Structure 1
Amino acid sequence: MDIEETPVLDNHLHLDPVQGRNTEAVEDFADHGGTHLLVLNKPSWHLVEAATDEDTFREAFDLTVGAVEDATDALPGRAWPVLGVHPALISKLVEEGYTPDEARDIMQAGLDVAAEYVTDGPALAIKSGRPHYEVDEAVWDVSNDVMCHAFELAAAGDFAVQLHTEGGEEFEQVAQWAEQRGLDRRQVVKHYSGGRLQGPTKSVLADKDELELAIEEDEPFLMETDYIDDPERPGAVLGPKTVPRRVRWLLENGEDEAVRTAHVETPEAVYGIDTEATLSR
């Protein structure tokens, strides 16, 4: 199979319509064979300010929705927004003098707004998680409360949750928390995953070694760059050309089935999207 014959989805990429390359990055992705994007809003303090109320969350979400509309115009497929609250907001809020409980309430209110954007229209899924760095027990506990609130919202609305968490392979407990709240664990996506993961669906950073491991594991997976779109860190985490380049590499090595898993079957199972029907080259 040739790359022209398949959808190519980057499952987790950021665009910055305020100070980033924005649509130029999308054009790089498309020029190298990319077709579909899931665009995550950057943390509110990168776009507006550290959100403490619903209006600020909406302002950050609206910027991302606008960037996604422009991205879709530049793609042979389309882009979807994934909106939510970066788990590091808890630390920003506590540093500003909020108690952990107050910070939890603010973040859960932000997730309520994000869920509205899914149920009412433009967004596909929401984002939550917990800090990927050391925090005290009180902050850790309320961060898990925030994440579980995201699971409740997703279960009620029948949509997926992308998670930003610490590294590792063992997230069975997290998947069980989702299931206890009525959410299918397949609709929980661990962003920035390696090729091996227990619990949620893995969104594998497009590194050759990790992709080979994911293929060896023979489970559903997605591919991502976590491109940050920061002019001071060009190409971080991976550049927007990376997923199409890795798809070409996989196809050259006869991994057609793995490409179909990551770019057609898993997106449909997790998000209910049809990357083939939405593609017109």
Structure 2
Amino acid sequence: MSEDLGTPVLDNHLHLDPEHGRGMAAVDDFARLGGTHLLVVNKPSWHLGPVPSDREDFRPAFEATIEAVRDASERLPGRAWPVLGVHPGLISRLVDDEGYEPDAARALMCEGLSVAAEFVADGRALGLKSGRPHYDVSETVWDASNAVMRRAFEHGAELDCAVQLHTEASEDLTEIADWAREAGMDPSRVVKHYASGKLAGPTPSVMSEKDWLQTAAEEGEPFLMETDFVDDPDKPGMVLGPKTVPRRVRWLLDEGYDDAVRTAHIVTPRAVYGIDTEATLSDGEST
């Protein structure tokens, strides 16, 4: 029997790999502990096949994610949504391993984003994923990566959708928020994945460590919660497991942070993604 925490419980960023990883068993663990909703982000394209060399090479990872979301939604008290895009680490694969010039890598990654945008445009995906490397790279690679991210913001503005970012660790990404605003996006709809509890600029998706969550709760600002579960059998201890978000919600409630739980699992998802975690929990209808 699944635990009822008395609230929707959303993991804002995790991966599912039914073919190679735990797949629906991970979803069942999440639901059994009280989890209700998931945002499932596609795994990097080279994890599911060869390093892309043209735009169509991105499509299999997106299709696999949508299929996993469909299966997950059947097992959840609420539902799951896909977030699709291009992992910023791809630029290093292309430049360092495949011999691309940074501008050519940028162009290919932007093609991948355009394919992801097609899925958002036809309603099969909720938002986009982009970002820049969280490790040291050359200036030309850094500039190319920022250009890819700024293209994602243009798509976000055109499609009126959120953009999740993988970036370096920081508590101040106001420059990125400014770029989103310049592209026509509301910067609050830009989400910094793997955030700590405090962030200027985009909306933080806080990794569900207790100290970071306590900081976010006491800040009183919009935030989300995530695990970045990678669903890789070769990396079983990497980041956090699928049970973590419901367990941390229980902990936050026990600590008296009821308002923060409502912020992270009802208010912020509605503001950032336009999803209603209460309605989809009670009647199964999507928004």
TM-score (normalised: structure 1): 0.98
Q: Which residue of 2 aligns with 1:199?
A: 201
Q: Which residue of 2 aligns with 1:65?
A: 66
* SS of residue matched to 1:156: helix
Q: Which residue of 1 aligns with 2:268?
A: 266
1:126 aligns with 2:136: no
Displacement of 1:235 in angstroms is: 4.2
Whether the 8 Å CA contact 1:225–1:243 is kept in 2: the answer is yes
Q: Which residue of 1 aligns with 2:181?
A: 179
Larger displacement relative to structure 2 (152-161 or 52-61): 52-61
Q: Which residue of 2 aligns with 1:89?
A: 90
* SS of residue matched to 1:257: helix
Q: Which residue of 2 aligns with 1:44?
A: 45
* SS of residue matched to 1:20: coil
Q: Distance in 2 between matches of 1:252 and 1:147?
A: 39
Displacement of 1:157 in angstroms is: 0.6
Q: Distance in 1 between matches of 2:31 and 2:282?
A: 12
Q: Which residue of 2 aligns with 1:228?
A: 230
Whether the 8 Å CA contact 1:18–1:47 is kept in 2: the answer is no
Q: Which residue of 2 aligns with 1:101?
A: 103
- Structure 2: where are the runs of 5+ without partners? none
Deviations 1:128-182 (A, max 9, x none): 0000100000000000000000000000110000000011111000000000010
Displacement of 1:54 in angstroms is: 1.8
TM-score (normalised: structure 2): 0.96
Displacement of 1:3 in angstroms is: 4.7
* SS of residue matched to 1:223: strand
Q: Which residue of 2 aligns with 1:7?
A: 8
Q: Distance in 2 between matches of 1:3 and 1:160?
A: 29
Q: Distance in 1 between matches of 2:154 and 2:60?
A: 24
Whether the 8 Å CA contact 2:5–2:250 is kept in 1: the answer is no
Aligned AA (2:241): G
Match of 1:112 among 85, 104, 114: 114
* SS of residue matched to 2:179: helix
Displacement of 1:21 in angstroms is: 0.5
Whether the 8 Å CA contact 1:3–1:251 is kept in 2: the answer is no
Q: Distance in 2 between matches of 1:52 and 1:266?
A: 37
1:245 aligns with 2:247: yes
Whether the 8 Å CA contact 1:154–1:161 is kept in 2: the answer is yes
Give the alignment's Cα RMSD to 1 decimal.
1.1
Aligned AA (1:59): P
Aligned AA (1:231): P
Whether the 8 Å CA contact 2:131–2:145 is kept in 1: the answer is yes
Displacement of 1:122 in angstroms is: 1.3
Displacement of 1:50 in angstroms is: 1.4
Whether the 8 Å CA contact 1:10–1:36 is kept in 2: the answer is yes
Q: Distance in 2 between matches of 1:235 and 1:256?
A: 30
Displacement of 1:17 in angstroms is: 2.5
1:16 aligns with 2:14: no
Larger displacement relative to structure 2 (263-272 or 227-236): 227-236
Q: Distance in 1 between matches of 2:113 and 2:232?
A: 24
Q: Which residue of 2 aligns with 1:188?
A: 190
- Structure 1: where are the runs of 5+ without partners? none
Q: Distance in 2 between matches of 1:69 and 1:235?
A: 26
Q: Distance in 1 between matches of 2:268 and 2:237?
A: 26
Match of 2:168 among 166, 169, 186: 166
Aligned AA (2:91): I
* SS of residue matched to 1:38: strand
Aligned AA (1:263): H
Larger displacement relative to structure 2 (131-140 or 229-238): 229-238
Aligned AA (1:128): S
Deviations 1:209-250 (A, max 9, x none): 000100111100000000000101124210000000000011
